[in-house]
Amino acid sequence: MAKEIPLGVRGEAAETVAFENTLTSHHPELPPVYSTPDMIRLMETAAFHALQPYCEGDQITVGTSIQIVHRAASGVGARVKAEAVLESFDGRFYTLRVTARDDVQEIGRGTVGRAVVSIGKFLEKMKSSGR
C-alpha cells in the first residue's frame, strides 16, 4: 500500500496548445481550439503528479473515473495549466478536484478518480486475463 496521502496535496501540469491538441487536428471541419480529451489528459497528469510522491516501490496511480466540464475555448499558443487537489479517499481509491486555466480564464473543472496499483501485479493480471 502507498504511504498515507494527506488530503489537500496538490499537483500541476502545463502545456502550450499546439495544433495537435486541437479539434481541427482530429476533424478538419472543426475549429482550431484545445480539445476536451487533451484538457482531461492534462488534468489526469496533474492528479498523477499530486499522488506519485506517496507511492512506493513499483506503485503508480491509474485513472478510474472522470467527471469534467469544459466551459471555454483556448486557441493554439495558449498556455494551459491544470491543477489537482486531493479531496477524499476510500481505501486505495482517491478523488481529486481538478481545474484547468488558460492565460485568461478557467476553461474546465471537475473531479478525477485514481487508484494505487502495483505495476507488476497490474501487468500480471492483464497477462493472465489475455489482454
45 given a catalytic annotation: no
Which of these is catalytic: 22, 61, 70, 83?
70
Per-residue pLDDT of 50-64, as tens digits, reads 999 999 999 999 999
The pLDDT-based confidence of 1 (bands split at 50, 70, 90) is: low
The domain limits of the chain are 10-128
87 given a catalytic annotation: no
Per-residue pLDDT of 37-90, as tens digits, reads 999 999 999 999 999 999 999 999 999 999 999 999 999 999 999 999 999 999
The CATH number corresponding to 10-128 among 3.40.30.10, 2.40.110.10, 3.40.50.720, 3.10.129.10 equals 3.10.129.10
How would DSSP label each residue in 52-121?
GGG--TTEEEEEEEEEEEE-S--BTT-EEEEEEEEEEEETTEEEEEEEEE-SSSEEEEEEEEEEEEEHHH
